[in-house]
Chains A and B, each alone.
Chain A
């Protein structure tokens, strides 16, 4: 009986505190704050304080929540929570150097689906708001997801082929163990194009510059979020921050595994450091040097350059290079 209670408490702790909600909340916000600061510095500005996303979040919590007359109320309010929950669950499955809160329960296919849910939730919420801007944002978000998904799957196939050898594997624990034994996958020559492709997928999946066509504030009034205000908007902003953490730690788990000591706290700190570097390279730097693309340019970019990189990796991995 005691052990059951303890196990339950342990899992509750996993979900609410360490790889779960609180960790996602704090580190995700921190990553976004660092991103904004670095972008500002790259543009020769001082930039907001690193804690700015926290201020934004708490401010939005204190604002009035307006529900449009044309909106379907339940979907409108539930959609952001669903998206956030999916991301927190996703974070639980991503191994931190061998440590995984729910190991063996889910592999990369589940993660692929869970990654879709926040985008789908945002689309549902936007559609429920009844705003024409959200309608345009919805179609653009859909195109962005489709554009990102093909190269992402090919990257995962390439990784799975390298790790699994003859049989392509989608198991996270196998990937983690392979990297513990053989060193990080990024040192594998055939996977370097895949890693670059993955770095380019991160800003697309999170909806950062220059792939934020779905939330273009100047042309379609923030698109999907056009009608959101107050606490639901705060949850969306949080979802975006957590998504940055999730995707960078996903990258770390895929390509930079095997770096660590075995002590969970130290490994978590190493993961955070890796995530910060990845955020700066793949989100801030790309944001600072580009202007927003048109939706067809986003699509073309992902299905030619990024897919091409992933394909090179896949072919190389298939021939065992």
Chain B
């Protein structure tokens, strides 16, 4: 019979234990640990990207019409979350944060919900400006078709496309969480539904030709 642990057992009997003594001695999670989600509604623009990338269907968004605009509530169900942090990675406004808090113990399912609400004001209608702006050439005061700086950004932070750089690859349309961009490869048109657009900036980030300006 082979007994490899005789010496170890005797020496450990008189040595210190390797116990962390957890409930008595509080323990911090390791740096980079992905625990309880903290949601900052003040930064959120309700683009819906987090909802789209969530693998566990843990994020729900409800929209309620109130006087001042749309009351938007995002609810994160920690009981359905994989803590993969993809939502935080994809959030262009850093409104989602995964903290080191791991004490997620609850007796009721409601205790595991993290939610936040904010009111999104409807876009201020500026009468004639919106539509023609998309076409850079029509804008007075800029040089048409100048290389390098071809288009003027809109003042409400929504995307405009530089038709000289755009190759109509449709990547921006695919990535748009609102589905606001429509690109036709055959017709070579780029259209943005500015009513639906939330100015998240994903289209500008993903554009391989850097043709979109916010």
Contact = CB atoms under 8 A, between A and B. Distances in A.
B161 to A, nearest CB: 65
A41 B1 contact: no
Contact of A289 (B6, B15, B19): B6
Interface residues of A, number: 13
Contacts of B17: 41, 44-46
B25 to A, nearest CB: 12
Contact of B18 (A42, A44, A288, A289): A44
A301 interface: yes
B1 A289 contact: no
B21 A46 contact: yes
B19 A288 contact: no
A290 interface: yes
Nearest to B21: A46
Contacts of B9: 42-43, 285, 288-289
B19 A41 contact: no
Interface in B1-52: 1, 3, 5-6, 9-10, 12-13, 15, 17-19, 21
Contacts of A42: 9-10, 12-13
A38 interface: yes
**Secondary structure call for the B interface:** loop
A44 B1 contact: no
A42 B5 CA distance: 10
A307 to B, nearest CB: 15
Contacts of B13: 38, 41-42
Interface in A43-59: 43-46
Nearest to B5: A289
Nearest to B18: A44
**Secondary structure call for the A interface:** helix
A301 B21 contact: no
A41 B21 CA distance: 14
Interface string A182-212: 0000000000000000000000000000000
B5 A44 contact: no
Contacts of A44: 12, 15, 17-19
A11 to B, nearest CB: 42
A46 B19 contact: yes
B72 to A, nearest CB: 50
Interface string A292-308: 00000000010001000
B162 to A, nearest CB: 66
Nearest to B7: A289
A204 B21 CA distance: 34
Interface in B91-118: none
Nearest to A289: B5
Contacts of A290: 3
Contacts of B19: 44-46
B172 to A, nearest CB: 57
B1 A301 contact: yes
A290 B3 CA distance: 7
A41 B10 CA distance: 9
Contacts of A45: 17-19
Contact of A41 (B5, B6, B12): B12
Nearest to A285: B9
Nearest to B19: A46
Interface of A: 38, 41-46, 285, 288-290, 301, 305
- The 7 A-B pairs of least Cβ separation, nearest first, read A42-B9, A288-B9, A289-B5, A46-B19, A44-B18, A44-B12, A289-B9
7 contacts: A41-B13, A41-B17, A44-B15, A45-B18, A46-B19, A288-B5, A289-B9
Given A41-B12, A44-B19, 11 more contacts: A42-B10, A42-B12, A44-B12, A44-B15, A45-B17, A45-B19, A288-B5, A289-B5, A289-B6, A290-B3, A305-B1
